[in-house]
A and B are shown apart, each in its own frame.
Chain A
Amino acid sequence: MRRPGTLIRMAVTTVVVAGAAIAVGLAAGLTTLSNNIGAAQAATPRCTGSDLSVIEGTGATITTVTLSSSTNIDNTSACHGASLAVTVTNGTTSGSATCTIGTAPCTVAGTGPYTFGPLTLSAGVARTAATQADIVMTGP
């Protein structure tokens, strides 16, 4: 027979170890949510499976852009509600615009390819032979 003091110490120890185990369990759950967490690996962002093309407005100066995707990303839970920030640059000047997928003007039109917009840029960008358009999607 162990003394009561010893039993209490064992009980406290068990509770502490169980608490730590629960914390580890939560961490494992978080890791599972991201696709690729692990040693020397980065998690895959959620909406990169989709393609998003930037179609520039016509004219000598680009003042609007329309986004196009082969999939209806508004119907994709990994993308719906995400914020989009678009920046167009010709290397000298740049213009930007933002919107939220599912909210005008970023609502789906067409039956594929699916288009969003047009979005009005904060500043006009002179048309050149090569322009760059970066899209950063945040969330959902």
Chain B
Amino acid sequence: MRRIGILLALSALLTLSTAAAASLSLTSQALTPIRNCILSGYPSTTTDVIDAMVEQNNPNTNYNNATNSVMSHSGNTNRRTYVEFLVADCVPAIPPTATIRSATLRLYATAVPAGTCRTDDVFAATSAWTETGITWNTQPTSNSTRTAYMQIGSTCTSNNAAGYVTGWNVTGDVQSYVSGSASDDGWMIRDDAESSATSYTATYEAKNGNSTTENPELIISYVDVP
């Protein structure tokens, strides 16, 4: 009889631990929280976003006040756009341990290259720069390998007319900014084949356009737990 009692107590204990495990797994499976931080170039007075264009033909001119960032490429008249979103300014702050599911850089194209389909590349800048100081001759250093590319032009299957472009996937760069393995110095955007014989131009709305419908954006989607 005593052995039976011991065995009954043992089985009751096992049953109790079973109930605890079951409730834990059911609760944790049901919810999936995903957070988004959207950094925007509106209003233009924000310091969360900085952007500027640089021009090879006027290498010492600062174009901080331009309302459009023109990207063209022909001979020695290449133009590039720099844009930086201060990821640290997300509210609430993205934890360094967060996993970035996606980060998309979106610009509004006010004009696309006509009669062609060009490739616009994004490179991560690797040194600090300022809106009021940057010129062609003082461009920051940047990665030699592009982070992402996107096709744009009137003959492309997408990004072939004015409007928000599909955007550049900068997930890896933003993950590095958040985790602290790289400094957040933004990106340089340029044509994939600069100095071409024929000039093509893409024009993007800049922060100074102060537009609520065409402002530059960085959309970051992340989860707090891996």
Q: Does B15 contact A (CB under 8 A)?
A: yes
Which A residues are CB-close (under 8 A) to B48? Answer: 129-130
Q: Chain B residue with minimal CB distance to A89?
A: B91
Out of B14, B35, B101, B226, name the residue touching A134 (CB < 8 Å): B35
B192-220 interface with A by 8 A CB criterion: 212-214, 219
Count of A-B contacts judged by CB separation below 8 Å = 155
Of B39-47, B65-73, B75-83, B119-127, the segment with at least 4 beta carbons within 8 Å of chain A is B39-47
Output the nearest chain B residue to A18 by Cβ-Cβ distance.
B11
Q: Are A27 and B30 in contact (CB under 8 A)?
A: no
What is the size, in residues, of chain A's interface with B at 8 Å between Cβ atoms? Answer: 51
When chains A and B are docked, how far (Å) is the Cα of A45 from the Cα of B224? 12
Q: How far is the CA of A60 from the CA of B213 in the complex (A)?
A: 8
Interface size range on B against A = 35 or more
A127 pairs with B40, CB closer than 8 A: yes
Is the CB–CB distance between A132 and B92 below 8 Å? yes
Main secondary structure of the interface of A (DSSP, over half): mixed
Contact B4 A133 (CB under 8 A): no
Interface string of A30-64 (1 = CB under 8 A from B): 11011001000011111110111111101110000
A-contact bits for B89-121, CB 8 A (1 contact / 0 none)? 111100000000110100000000000000000
- The stretch among B16-24, B135-143, B179-187 that forms the contact with chain A is B16-24
| A58 and B15 contacting across the interface, CB-CB below 8 Å | no
Q: How far is the CB of B87 from chain A (nearest CB, A)?
A: 10
State whether B24 touches A37 (Cβ < 8 A): yes
B32 CB within 8 Å of chain A: yes
Chain B binding site: helix, strand, loop or mixed by DSSP? mixed
Once the chains bind, are A136 and B31 in contact (CB under 8 Å)?
Answer: yes
- The reply to whether A130 and B40 contact each other, CB–CB distance below 8 Å, is yes
Assess the B36–A129 pair: CB atoms within 8 A.
no
Nearest residue in A to B218 (C-beta to C-beta)?
Answer: A130
User: Is A121 an interface residue when CB atoms closer than 8 A count as contact?
Assistant: no
Bound together, the chains give a CA A121 to CA B72 distance in angstroms of 40
Q: With the chains together, A91 CA to B38 CA distance in Å?
A: 13
Choose among A42, A128, A137 the residue that contacts B34 (Cβ–Cβ < 8 A): A137
Given contacts A133-B36, A137-B32, contact A31 B42 (CB under 8 A): no
Contacts of B212 in A (CB 8 A): 58-60, 127
User: CB distance B21 to A42 under 8 Å?
Assistant: no
Residues of A close to B42: CB separation below 8 A: 127-129
12 examples of A-B residue contacts, CB within 8 angstroms: A26-B22, A43-B25, A46-B29, A46-B32, A48-B32, A51-B102, A52-B101, A53-B219, A129-B43, A130-B91, A132-B90, A134-B35
10 smallest CB-CB distances across A and B, nearest first, come from: A20-B11, A51-B101, A129-B46, A43-B28, A27-B18, A137-B32, A51-B102, A133-B36, A34-B25, A58-B213
Chain A residues with CB under 8 Å of chain B are 9, 12-13, 16-17, 19-20, 23-24, 26-27, 30-31, 33-34, 37, 42-48, 50-56, 58-60, 68, 70, 82, 91, 113, 127-139
